[in-house]
Structure 1
Amino acid sequence: MTAATETEPGDETEPGRLRDLIEGARVVLWDFDGPICRLFAGHSAERVANDLASWLEGRGLHGLLSEAERDLLDPHVVLRAVDRRHPGSDLVAELEERLTQEELKATASAMPTPYADPLIRTWTAVGARLAVTTNNSPRVAREYLASRGLVRCFAPHLYGRTQRLDHLKPDPHCIHRALNATGAAPATALMIGDTPSDLFAARAAGVPFLGYARNDHKRKLLRDAGAAVVVESLEPVLRTVGGRRQA
């Protein structure tokens, strides 16, 4: 399969281009937070980042974060910053576990991405193999998918954050794990993601990419990063996959 070429803004949902991506996909690799659900819809990621920073400060480690890193209010920024300064340390392991626990709490109020559940079931029904490739904990992905009755569509292919934080996307490590485990060639897979880091990881692994953008800001970030095909809803994807089932 040939990955889609660059399009002009506003042309990215053209049915033929989307169909080409979908028809070539034997294995579909899903980012978790975004394409499958909004993990922190009811459990503020900003508060989690602040709590992690406060925990570091309580241990006398305020200096591990720059002002810019604190101001971003992103839990993964906090985690990566500490790992850069103390890679592979017990401190990083403890901080990663604290983030995982917060993510697990967030699953209770996570908001399903519109059309994601039926798309996952339909893609499974037409014979595609699915995997999660995420920077969140795979324990979190499993917990959420179990709550939606979707684990069977993915298991055992749930690949996510470990204590090797240098393996987080945009590094393609989790994508390579999924490809190796499913025996898929990169050109026969498709990555669905909502951030430039998803795009860069897919590109590094040689996997075609479908961008999902729930708002104009995310769409612009993906377009500026070079994403060729971006959808603002999974509905046309579901319609295309469902059409394959009926064919």
Structure 2
Amino acid sequence: MTSDTTQSEVTAERTELLRDLISRAQVVLWDFDGPICRLFAVHRAEQVANDLIEWLESQGLHGLLTETERKSVDPHVLLRAVDRRHPDSDLVAELEERLTQEELRAASTAWPTAYADPVIRTWTALGTRLAVTTNNSPLVVAKYLSGRGLTACFAPHIYGRTQDLHLLKPDPHCLNRALRALGAAPASALMIGDSVTDYLAAREAGVPFLGYARAEHKEHRLQEAGATTIVSSLETVLKALRAQA
């Protein structure tokens, strides 16, 4: 068997797995930042994280974060760290509100993920119900979807960050909320996510998972976590949906 033949067989098998996931999905749970858009494409996440760190320092809390946490470019890492040390505190509430305001600023300049809009519209046209399950603020999701004319494809099913920060993914809380609201069994749903926390939340909830990995290192992380079906472009999903229509 030649390497070309082997590669063709692998591609065909992956395509069949993807088509099977899509055909069985009656409900699709979308992560937001990544599969739907690049939220911090212009208003950079690194700057948001730095601004949050500076605010903490201005409160006399320079020693609250570890050196590793201080170097993180993910604002959610900082939020989780502060919540672990001061759960349910006014400090955490203020930090979360500041992050929400930064996310709202970012939503105005977010870049749509390639093919996300037509995939969302096509799935909706096929009668599949959609929800957003995210660690971002639901206010941010609503703002972005409104700007893209996609609100009707999801509303009212937007399940984002709450004040109970320990329930952020990888906890399956937001996925379970969506499933209950939609009256859907986990096996009848599909989650699209781009991070290990998305995969772990889906696995815990019993929801089949489709990984989206625009970058090779993200694909490797998802594979190492256990994800088996991963696409590098939503164009693959769009083609599968159109073939199903």
TM-score range (shorter-chain normalised) is over 0.9
Q: CA deviation at 1:49?
A: 0.4
Query: 1:73: which partner in 2?
Result: 73
How many residue pairs end up in the alignment?
236
CA distance in 1, matches of 2:183, 2:209: 19
Under a length normalisation based on structure 2, what TM-score does the superposition of the two structures give?
Answer: 0.94
CA distance in 2, matches of 1:163, 1:50: 22
Instruction: Say whether the 8 Å CA contact 1:40–1:110 is kept in structure 2.
Output: yes
Which amino acid in structure 1 is aligned with residue 193 of structure 2?
G
Which amino acid in structure 2 is aligned with residue 65 of structure 1?
L
Q: Percent identity?
A: 68
1:118-145 CA-to-partner distances (Å, cap 9, x unmatched) read 0000000000000000000010000000
Instruction: Say whether the 8 Å CA contact 1:36–1:112 is kept in structure 2.
Output: yes
Instruction: Say whether the 8 Å CA contact 1:35–1:212 is kept in structure 2.
Output: yes
Which amino acid in structure 2 is aligned with residue 88 of structure 1?
D
CA distance in 1, matches of 2:243, 2:11: 21
3-state SS of the aligned residue for 2:108?
A: helix
Query: 2:118: which partner in 1?
Result: 118
Q: Larger % of helix: which?
A: 2
Query: 1:173: which partner in 2?
Result: 173
1:56-115 CA-to-partner distances (Å, cap 9, x unmatched) read 000101121111100112200110010000101111111001000000000111110000
Q: CA deviation at 1:187?
A: 0.2
CA distance in 2, matches of 1:196, 1:163: 22
CA distance in 2, matches of 1:102, 1:80: 16
Q: CA deviation at 1:198?
A: 0.2
Q: Does 1:212 align with 2:212?
A: yes
Query: 2:6: which partner in 1?
Result: none
Q: Does 1:225 align with 2:188?
A: no
Which amino acid in structure 1 is aligned with residue 52 of structure 2?
L
Instruction: Say whether the 8 Å CA contact 1:213–1:233 is kept in structure 2.
Output: yes
- Extract structure 1 runs of 4+ deviating beyond 3 A: 10-13
CA distance in 2, matches of 1:14, 1:110: 30
Under a length normalisation based on structure 1, what TM-score does the superposition of the two structures give?
Answer: 0.94
Instruction: Say whether the 8 Å CA contact 1:12–1:230 is kept in structure 2.
Output: no
How do residues 30-179 of structure 1 correspond to structure 2 at under 5 angstroms? 30-179=30-179
1:135-192 CA-to-partner distances (Å, cap 9, x unmatched) read 0001000000000000100000000101110010000000000000000000000000
3-state SS of the aligned residue for 2:210?
A: strand
Which amino acid in structure 2 is aligned with residue 139 of structure 1?
L
Query: 2:4: which partner in 1?
Result: none
Range that drifts further, 63-72 or 29-38: 63-72
Structure 1 residue ranges without an equivalent (≥5): 1-9
Relative to 1, partners in 2 of residues 1:90 and 1:13: Cα closer, same or farther, differing over 3 Å? farther
CA distance in 1, matches of 2:197, 2:13: 21
Instruction: Say whether the 8 Å CA contact 1:104–1:140 is kept in structure 2.
Output: yes
CA distance in 2, matches of 1:213, 1:73: 19
Relative to 1, partners in 2 of residues 1:12 and 1:87: Cα closer, same or farther, differing over 3 Å? farther
Instruction: Say whether the 8 Å CA contact 1:12–1:229 is kept in structure 2.
Output: no
Which amino acid in structure 1 is aligned with residue 49 of structure 2?
A
Q: Does 1:191 align with 2:178?
A: no
Q: CA deviation at 1:201?
A: 0.1
Relative to 1, partners in 2 of residues 1:52 and 1:157: Cα closer, same or farther, differing over 3 Å? same
Instruction: Say whether the 8 Å CA contact 1:30–1:191 is kept in structure 2.
Output: yes
1:26-66 CA-to-partner distances (Å, cap 9, x unmatched) read 00000000000000000110010010010000010112111
Query: 2:236: which partner in 1?
Result: 236
